[in-house]
Amino acid sequence: MVTVESMINATKEAPSIWLEYVNKKQCLKDNAYVFCFFEGEDRKYYNDRVEEHLTDIQIIGYVCGNRDEVIKVYKKILSEKDDMSHLLFFVDRDYNFESYEANDYVYQTPEYSIENFYCKKSAVKKIMEIEFGIQPDSKDMTDILSLFEKSLEDFFKYYSCINIWYMSCKKRNISVKITKFNPKRDIEFSEFTLVLKNNAITQKNIAEYYKELLEKDVAQRKKHAENNLAEYLTNLDLIKEEIEVSSIEYNCSKNFRGKFALEFLKIFIGYIKKINKEENLEKKYLHIHIDEHAKNILSNLSKYAITPPCLIQYISNHKPLVSKKI
């Protein structure tokens, strides 16, 4: 079972994580354990799923900060020729520039990140049923799921140009701030329809639009704004060329950024709460306490997120043979 004592919550770099792992392993008295290495908050999704499929085993988790740090720990342990059957490594796919898709020891998400697992029709159906009390066979459920499917498709088409632009920048190792794009500013729901608010978000305009955002930073005298703009302008033509290539390679189902998908889900939940409060559904549902703005949203909604079969297979394949040490 995962406990406060067994979960190392602090984000740390790979060398210190590896040392902690070595020291902890030396203290274990039997083989009924696994070590898990996570990116950032991803433990909030994976913990329960590891527990579910590895029962009666001590689960010791380490937060490694980001994908690169998890991989550094993996490579260090591999170089030490350690027993990999007691080790689980979890990383996001991201844009799959360094793929671990076919690696037996590392689990890589089949989509961009774990956040994509939350923004699914089956997850929304469970949320509506359990958090809102909406009956599965009701007209409200049918209408809400229909709205979700249609609006999610529209949102993915709308925001894919940002993903293509970002993928292009990363391929060329050009530093940009993806956090300058926020679905909360660019979309809203009104009269049971998704409204796309920012006409500048198109594949043709996206590279120039980001330049305009940087120019606003300069006008507002933000720190490092002038350097950021100058660096971006130097690479602008290269980015535009790469966008043409990336748009052909881009696969929305695999390359759509998970944090954008999660933001869409939060906006959608907020809209359903709103129209319920305004009594614009077939009936008004009571005792709804879901907080789509909660900082701990990954934990709060984890039980509704999908669990891909490849994840179950990965965990099951790494159940250690339990025996007492002699």
DSSP string over 216-245: HHHHTT-TTHHHHHHHHHHHHHHHHHHHHH
Mean per-residue pLDDT, 281-306:
96
**Residue 84 pLDDT > 90:** no
| Residues ≥6 apart with Cβ < 8 Å to 145 | 121, 124, 125, 128
SS3 283: coil
pLDDT of residue 320: 67
Phi first, then psi: give them for residue 73, nearest 5 degrees: -65, -45
Burial of 208 (0-12, 13-18, 19+ CB in 10 A): exposed
pLDDT at 304: 98
Model pLDDT for residues 35-64, shown as the tens digit of each residue: 999 998 999 999 999 999 998 889 999 999
Q: What is the pLDDT of residue 4?
A: 34
Q: Answer yes or no: are the C-beta atoms of 211 and 228 closer than 8 Å.
A: no
Q: Are strands 187-190 and 193-196 parallel, antiparallel or unpaired?
A: antiparallel
Residue 96's pLDDT band, with cuts at 50, 70 and 90, is confident
Helix boundaries (H) for the chain: 14-27, 43-53, 67-79, 121-130, 139-171, 183-186, 206-219, 225-249, 252-255, 258-277, 297-300, 309-317
Shared-domain flag, residues 178 and 231: yes
Q: Are 131 and 177 contained in the same domain?
A: yes
> What does the pLDDT read at residue 27?
87
Same domain, 104 and 133: no
**pLDDT range class, residue 233, cuts 50, 70, 90:** very high
Same domain, 147 and 51: no
Evaluate whether residue 325 is within a structural domain.
no
Q: With 70 as the cut, is the pLDDT of residue 179 above it?
A: yes
Query: What is the number of structural domains in the chain?
Result: 2
The CA dihedral of 235, 236, 241, 246, to the nearest 10 degrees, is 90
Mean pLDDT of 9-15: 51
Does one domain contain both 141 and 264? Answer: yes
Residue 323 forms part of a structural domain: no
Do 164 and 194 fall within a single domain?
yes
326 in any annotated domain: no
The per-residue pLDDT for 13 is 56
Q: Which pLDDT score, from 0 to 100, does residue 87 have?
A: 94
Given a cut of 90, whether residue 193 has pLDDT beyond it is: yes
Same domain, 35 and 167: no
**Which residues have a Cβ under 8 Å from the Cβ of 59 and sit 6 or more positions away?**
1, 2, 6, 33, 34, 36, 47, 50, 51
Return the pLDDT at 14. Answer: 64
Q: Within a 10 A sphere around the Cβ of 157, how many other Cβ atoms?
A: 11
Pair of tokens at residue 290: 């879901």
Neighbours of 275 (CB within 10 A): 16
Residues 147 and 194 in one domain: yes
**Looking at the structure, do residues 257 and 295 belong to the same domain, yes or no?**
yes
What mean pLDDT comes out for the span 111-118?
Answer: 98
Is the distance from CB of 45 to CB of 101 less than 8 angstroms? no
In a domain, 2, yes or no: no
Residue 140, in any domain of the structure: yes
Domain that holds residue 48: 7-110+308-317
Q: Which of 108, 113, 87 is nearest to 98 (CA)?
A: 108
Question: Is the model's pTM score more than 0.85?
Answer: yes
